[in-house]
Amino acid sequence: MYEIAAVAAAVAFAVAWFAGARRSRYARPVFAAMMMFLGASLMWGVDCVAEAMSGEEALDMSRDAACLAALILGAGLAVFAAMCVAERLRGSVPAKA
């Protein structure tokens, strides 16, 4: 479940990036969040393939996994929000000559 959530989040941030976020003030946080979820998706993808090859269930669709998916999305979005705040603070501080 959390693997699917990470892929969905990566796709959502990619859509936001190509829809115009790359020209906005928050281009860097959007791109970094996209990379973070993409990296996690690839790593869990490898994990799923390894599980499937060893004859085990690749995707966990239990309620426990759904809670973990929500936690992972929340953590990723918290990192994104922190980067947005940092970007905003950096933008409000006048650059030294």
Could you list the residues that contact other proteins (CB under 8 A)? Answer: 2, 6, 31-33, 35-47, 50-51, 56-57, 60, 62, 64, 68, 71-72, 75-76, 79
Q: Which is nearer to other proteins, 18 or 47 (CB)?
A: 47
φ, ψ at 79 (rounded to 5°): -65, -45
State the CB neighbour count (10 A cutoff) for residue 54. Answer: 8
Tokens of 58: 């690749």
Nearest to other proteins of 21, 36 (CB atom): 36
**Whole-number minimum distance, CB 92 to other proteins, in Å?**
20
* Residue 8 to residue 96: CA distance in whole angstroms: 41
Nearest-approach distance from CB 60 to other proteins, in angstroms: 6
